[in-house]
Amino acid sequence: MSANANRKVVLKSYPKGAPGADNFEIIEEAIPTPGPGEALVRAIYLTVDPYMRGRLRPGPSYAEPQKIGEVMIGEIAGQIVESNAEGFAKGDYVTAHTGWQTHGIADGRDLRKLDPTDAPISTSLGVLGMPGLTAYFGTLDVLRPKAGDTLVVNAASGAVGSVVGQIARIGGCRVVGIAGSKEKCDFLTGELGFHATINHRETKDMAAAMKETCPNGIDCYFDNVGGPMTDAAFDNMAFGARVAICGQIAQYNDTEQAMGPRNLRHFLVKRATLRGLLVHDWRDRYDEGLTRLTRWIRSGELKYREDIVEGIEKAPDAFAGLMEGKNFGKQLVRIGEDPSRG
Amino acid sequence: MSANANRKVVLKSYPKGAPGADNFEIIEEAIPTPGPGEALVRAIYLTVDPYMRGRLRPGPSYAEPQKIGEVMIGEIAGQIVESNAEGFAKGDYVTAHTGWQTHGIADGRDLRKLDPTDAPISTSLGVLGMPGLTAYFGTLDVLRPKAGDTLVVNAASGAVGSVVGQIARIGGCRVVGIAGSKEKCDFLTGELGFHATINHRETKDMAAAMKETCPNGIDCYFDNVGGPMTDAAFDNMAFGARVAICGQIAQYNDTEQAMGPRNLRHFLVKRATLRGLLVHDWRDRYDEGLTRLTRWIRSGELKYREDIVEGIEKAPDAFAGLMEGKNFGKQLVRIGEDPSRG
């Protein structure tokens, strides 16, 4: 391994079921040189996100599949090494979509400049990045909770769920979080101000647990997970309930079509609404979202937690662990020195 | 059987699975006398509707269950025999919720006066009644089709579906109807101006049939049926699709929880919206709906078809047949002379 090489994680094979380190390999190559309008970016943090699982299959999802032999896609937070991109200079902290590699070439239009005095640059991949914006627009635009509403969110200690719950709490909702350990549940009520939690790994009758924690029914359900948990939520909807489908991670590793109860009748009885969301659709309003999220972080109303592992070789395992809920907070991989952190 | 008796159909037992004549019995009793503010109404037409199946079980649906031993619920079109209700006189044609009986007492607030010169009074239970209004608000308020959109509706020759499709056609949509016989399909394209049809009883691969008839995907899906047909529609949604859940008749006779593929992921990928509807929620706008529907009928833009059987003793079979799609057009039961029909 040379200090002057670009190390990158490429996809070796499409996973069958759960992804593993054996689906990836790390290779080295010469550090590339930026062309006109481009910049060379040194990655400091990689992000692993559930949506990536959807790219790791030959068929199309909402985007092109990840190609075998190519660097694994993804956003990074890093620092510019060399710039031909207008408005960006060596040393600037930026986000870019250069994927899982130490050094990547980004078009200037792909760069977002970061101010490390706002918040640590790692937050640009979490609470002040796509996950935070997903939570922001998904909660305020799709679910539109009113004060007094009961909102339920799953994967609640994760990058999206934790922000959904806190935005709803700030808006005066009763917030119930579903998470996969006592430690996570304690964090939700103790640190993030959730009103109640359900530990899904310890809950046999999810519908009963929801009934208990949501005595007036669920007005807003933010779904990152899908599966039996979501069946139980449908059973417990209040009249006029809104459901945001943000992710269905329970199915992403499936090798066969999962089956579940036909339960659309609940939407009729409760006059409920369901909508699928992808943050890109609010592209024109990212500035608004980032401004408000940053303000809430500065005021202390919005908290975040990161789960950072070290070393690019850990990226495949971090990704595989994310799919099983092993992370606790936004899962990141630090692959280079972060001079912005004092 | 006495000409001076009230004949009524009462529920004898809750059906297990498909309802049948043995779940009902016909009894006779003295014709009742209206109290203050009430009217005695002679029923001319009974309506049988899919929602009634939901009442024929002990548990609650969106309304109280039908009680054993009591007259079967439902709206009727008839004529006032004796009135203590302000604004209503003997001989007036009205609708009322007096159920499956020849003579019933209605509170004046339950009566809707009919003008037989507008349209035959039987239409007050179909195209100019709850089914027509369901189609009107479900299409215009829930699906909000734009000219050029592709709209798919199932149970398309039925009371609701036929109106949904025609409203969408009037609005400039490409309209695809799903129905259960060649005769029904021919009626949809030949009489009602649908652009394409799918005969679900002759179609093995519904998803492929939808792909063929909806080459640009389904923008609007009006669902009266549910089940595998709806799975196929979800597979074929266009970006930004809207789904209205009006009924799930495929499940109403189920004795066990039906299972189907977990397919909410499509709502994420296509950023689709689903909403359950019940016409009562537009109660304040019924006049608007009836005015526009009546205008379309008068202009010939909106057509309707009725399937009328004769005799109150046929009501249970008509209802059972409706649940299997044996009717062709709005299913009604004529149980008395209709002097308004020349």
pLDDT score for A64 = 83
SS3 per residue for A253-265: CCCCCCEEECCCH
In the structure, what pLDDT confidence band is assigned to residue A342 with cuts at 50, 70 and 90?
A: low
Partners of B278 on chain A (C-beta within 8 Å) are 268, 271
Closest CA to B195 of B223, B159, B169: B169
- Interchain proximity B226–A264, CB inside 8 Å: yes
Per-residue model confidence as pLDDT tens digits over B270-329: 999 999 999 999 999 999 999 999 999 999 999 999 999 999 999 999 999 999 999 999
Domain boundaries, chain B: 5-126+305-334, 130-280
What residue in A sits closest to B246 (Cα-Cα)? Answer: A268
Q: What distance lies between CA A142 and its chain's CA centroid?
A: 17
Mean pLDDT of B57-75: 87
Is the Cβ of A154 closer than 8 Å to some Cβ of chain B?
no
Per-residue model confidence as pLDDT tens digits over B68-86: 999 999 999 999 999 999 9
Residue A239 and residue A271 in contact, taking contact as beta carbons nearer than 8 Å: yes
In the structure, what pLDDT confidence band is assigned to residue B342 with cuts at 50, 70 and 90?
A: low
Which value does ipTM take for this structure?
0.94
Q: b/e map of B74-110 (b: 16 or more CB within 10 Å)?
A: bbbbbbbebbebeebeeebbbbbebbbbbbbbbebeb
- A130-280, which class in CATH? alpha beta
- Interchain proximity A264–B62, CB inside 8 Å: no
Mean pLDDT of A227-247: 98
Is the Cβ of B144 closer than 8 Å to some Cβ of chain A?
no
- Interchain proximity A276–B257, CB inside 8 Å: no
- Interchain proximity A262–B258, CB inside 8 Å: yes
Q: Which residue from B258, B260, B274 is facing A273, i.e. has the nearest CB?
A: B274
Q: What is the mean pLDDT of chain A?
A: 96
Partners of B277 on chain A (C-beta within 8 Å) are 268, 271
- Interchain proximity A262–B265, CB inside 8 Å: no
Mean pLDDT of B91-96: 98
Strand, coil or helix: B249: helix
Among A95-99, A109-113, B115-119, B164-168, the least confident range:
B115-119
- Interchain proximity A262–B266, CB inside 8 Å: no
Q: What is the mean pLDDT of chain B?
A: 96
Say how far apart CA A27 and CA A97 lie, in whole Å.
19
pLDDT score for B83 = 98
Strand, coil or helix: B201: helix
- Count how many pairs of residues, chain A against chain B, have C-beta atoms within 8 Å: 108
**Chain B: closest CA distance from residue A319 (Å):** 20
- Give the side-chain half-sphere CA count within 13 A for B296: 23
Q: Where do the H-state alpha helices sit in chain B?
A: 51-55, 130-137, 161-170, 182-190, 206-213, 228-235, 249-252, 265-269, 286-299, 315-323
- Interchain proximity A264–B274, CB inside 8 Å: yes
Only one residue has tokens 């205008």, namely B295
Is A317's pLDDT higher than 80?
A: yes
What residue in A sits closest to B63 (Cα-Cα)? Answer: A269
- Interchain proximity B262–A61, CB inside 8 Å: no
Is B243's pLDDT higher than 50?
A: yes
Is the Cβ of A257 closer than 8 Å to some Cβ of chain B?
yes
In the structure, what pLDDT confidence band is assigned to residue A59 with cuts at 50, 70 and 90?
A: confident
pLDDT score for A1 = 45
Strand, coil or helix: B294: helix
Joined together, the tokens standing for residue B134 give 């369901």
* Total count of residues recorded for chain B: 342
Considering the four listed CATH numbers 3.30.420.40, 3.30.565.10, 3.90.180.10, 3.30.70.1020, the one that applies to the domain covering B5-126+305-334 is: 3.90.180.10
Partners of A274 on chain B (C-beta within 8 Å) are 264, 267, 273-275
Residue A119 and residue A183 in contact, taking contact as beta carbons nearer than 8 Å: no
Is B60's pLDDT higher than 70?
A: no
Per-residue model confidence as pLDDT tens digits over A177-190: 999 999 999 999 99
Say which residues have a Cβ less than 8 Å from residue A124's Cβ, sequence separation at least 6: A77, A95, A112, A114
pLDDT score for A61 = 64
Tell me if B5-126+305-334 shares its fold with B130-280: no
pLDDT score for B1 = 45
pLDDT score for A295 = 97
In the structure, what pLDDT confidence band is assigned to residue A62 with cuts at 50, 70 and 90?
A: low
pLDDT score for B59 = 74
Residue B338 and residue B42 in contact, taking contact as beta carbons nearer than 8 Å: no
